[in-house]
């Protein structure tokens, strides 16, 4: 009960931070969009107008982020027992689509201005407003990104990065205005194309990142390493293998793993060990291990140890065999079982046939059980 209350409090604080940060972003972007639109229309500057549109799309993105955070914070129910956290990935996809649309629209308008150019007319006030906007965007970007990392919100981190980059784009608009005032060279439309290109690039990158989260991607190597280290701190554990990590939204990580234990332990002892591991991993990382499988390790037979070494040398002589684990030989019943992690670029059927033939040649009297594992985590 205490753990559930603590998780609820953390989730509530996270949602509050996301909403507060997003509201600040909305207010700042709406004000900037209004000022820039006014300056752009007054000076007949397509680059400034497109910069204003970009700010408006950022404000809309923040609205979507708030909605995503609110829906994603809904409590688990019978239909969605692991919660609604993945909704935030959908909201991030919508944000990416908005950014992409804004970029494409900006590109079209900039190309029109290149084909049909119009002279801009800047005033000192307009330049000051653009310069202030650059400073505001730099501060806003740093703040939003910091808050996003603090609460593990991909949408906020993306918004913060986008805001920082907007400052660079606004600086390019200011530079083109200064060039026009000094030398009379109009780079308006061309700067608009550059801005549009960067917006489109950012939108595509955001879309790819969020789609990867939705589809599911390889677990972070550092996280896998940390989890295995924690698991192997348990004295009886001889190794941790087959780790699979899966995610149901920000800060909602689950996993499963196999551990190797001596074959002289009782079921009661194994039960206590696995429970300690689950609690230890959760307290130190927040990852919930939904299942812990067990491999038995020969402890009383030297012949089994020699067989393991010989078979391991044979298996790992192939480049596609990345790891062998879970080995157990029953000398009396004449059985051998083990798992092999096979690389994704190997033909699994062919790999199994090769290993079976080679090991059967070494131990023709034994029945083999070889399980092929996928290379899903480091």
Please, which pLDDT band fits residue 5 given cuts at 50, 70 and 90? low
What average pLDDT does this structure show over 159-175? 77
Q: What total of structural domains would you count in the chain? A: 2
Distance CA 279, CA 339 (A): 27
31 vs 4, more confident: 31
Give the model confidence (pLDDT) of 258-309 as tens digits: 999 999 999 999 999 999 999 999 999 889 999 999 999 998 878 999 999 9
Please, which pLDDT band fits residue 10 given cuts at 50, 70 and 90? low
Point out the domain boundary residue: 185, 215, 245. Answer: 215
Q: Which of these ranges, 28-32, 158-162, 226-230, has the smallest mean pLDDT?
A: 158-162
Q: Report phi then psi at 261, rounded to 5.
A: -125, 150
Distance CA 356, CA 336 (A): 11
- What is the residue range of 70's domain? 2-215
Give strand ranges (E) for 50-174: none
Distance CA 210, CA 29 (A): 23
**Residue 132: which CATH number?**
1.20.1510.10
Most confident of 53-57, 112-116, 217-221, 323-327: 323-327
26 vs 65, more confident: 26
Domain co-membership, 211 together with 225: no
What average pLDDT does this structure show over 174-185? 83
**Residue 320: which CATH number?**
3.30.70.1350
pLDDT of 25 higher than 70 = yes
pLDDT of 51 higher than 80 = no
Please, which pLDDT band fits residue 7 given cuts at 50, 70 and 90? low
Q: Which of these ranges, 101-110, 119-128, 170-179, 253-262, has the smallest mean pLDDT?
A: 119-128
- Taking residue 131's Cβ as centre, other Cβ atoms within 10 Å add up to 13
Sheet of strand 239-247: strand arrangement = 239-247, 253-262, 288-297
Domain co-membership, 179 together with 276: no
Q: What is the largest CA-CA distance in the chain?
A: 93
Domain co-membership, 193 together with 253: no
49 vs 263, more confident: 263
Domain co-membership, 79 together with 14: yes
Domain co-membership, 91 together with 154: yes
Point out the domain boundary residue: 149, 181, 215. Answer: 215
User: Could you tell me the pTM of the whole model?
Assistant: 0.69
Q: What angle do CA 337, 224, 147 make, to 5 degrees?
A: 160
Domain co-membership, 278 together with 161: no
Domain co-membership, 331 together with 292: yes
Domain co-membership, 152 together with 265: no
Tell me whether strands 335-342 and 321-330 are parallel, antiparallel or unpaired: antiparallel
Domain co-membership, 56 together with 176: yes
Domain co-membership, 114 together with 81: yes
Domain co-membership, 117 together with 227: no
* Average pLDDT of the chain, as a whole number: 86
Asked if 143 and 131 count as a contact pair (C-beta separation under 8 A), the reply is no
Q: Which of these ranges, 191-205, 233-247, 328-342, has the smallest mean pLDDT?
A: 191-205
pLDDT of 116 higher than 90 = no
Point out the domain boundary residue: 192, 215, 238. Answer: 215
211 vs 53, more confident: 211
Domain co-membership, 253 together with 338: yes
Identify the pLDDT of residue 1: 42
189 vs 324, more confident: 324
Asked if 229 and 277 count as a contact pair (C-beta separation under 8 A), the reply is no
Identify the pLDDT of residue 207: 87
- From the list 252, 203, 197, 178, the residue with the least C-alpha distance to 60 is 203
Distance CA 52, CA 39 (A): 9
């Amino acid at each position: 009960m205490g753990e559930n209350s603590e998780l609820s409090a953390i989730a509530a604080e996270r949602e509050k931070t996301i909403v507060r940060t997003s509201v600040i972003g909305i207010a700042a972007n709406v004000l900037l969009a209004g000022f820039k639109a006014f300056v752009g229309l007054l000076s007949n500057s397509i680059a400034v107008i497109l910069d204003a549109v970009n700010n408006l799309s950022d404000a809309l993105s923040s609205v979507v982020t708030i909605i995503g955070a609110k829906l994603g914070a809904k409590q688990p129910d019978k239909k969605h027992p692991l919660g609604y956290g993945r909704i935030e990935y959908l909201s991030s996809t919508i944000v990416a689509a908005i950014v992409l649309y804004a970029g494409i629209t900006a590109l079209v308008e900039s190309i029109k201005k290149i084909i049909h150019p119009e002279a801009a007319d800047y005033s000192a006030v307009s330049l000051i407003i653009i310069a202030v906007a650059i400073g505001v965007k730099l501060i806003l970007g740093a703040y939003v990104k910091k808050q996003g990392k603090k609460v593990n919100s991909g949408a906020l981190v993306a918004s913060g990065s986008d805001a920082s980059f907007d400052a660079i784009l606004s600086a390019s608009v200011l530079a083109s205005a200064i060039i026009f005032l000094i030398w009379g060279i109009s780079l308006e439309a061309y700067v608009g194309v550059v801005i549009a290109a960067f917006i489109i690039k950012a939108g595509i990158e955001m879309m790819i990142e969020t789609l990867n989260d939705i589809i599911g991607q390889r677990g972070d190597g550092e996280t896998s390493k940390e989890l295995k280290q924690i698991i192997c701190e348990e004295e009886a554990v001889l190794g941790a293998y087959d780790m699979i990590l899966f995610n149901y939204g920000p800060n909602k990580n689950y996993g499963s793993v196999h551990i190797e234990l001596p074959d002289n332990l009782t079921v009661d002892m194994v039960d206590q060990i696995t429970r300690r591991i689950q609690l230890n991993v959760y307290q130190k990382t927040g990852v919930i291990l939904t299942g812990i499988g067990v491999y038995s390790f020969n402890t009383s037979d030297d012949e089994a140890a020699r067989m393991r070494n010989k078979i391991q040398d044979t298996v790992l002589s192939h480049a596609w065999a990345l790891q062998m684990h879970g080995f157990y030989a029953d000398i009396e019943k004449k059985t051998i079982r083990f798992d092999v992690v096979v690389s994704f670029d190997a033909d699994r059927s062919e790999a199994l046939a090769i290993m079976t033939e080679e090991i059967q040649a070494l131990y023709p009297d034994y029945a083999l059980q070889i399980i092929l594992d996928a290379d899903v985590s480091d």
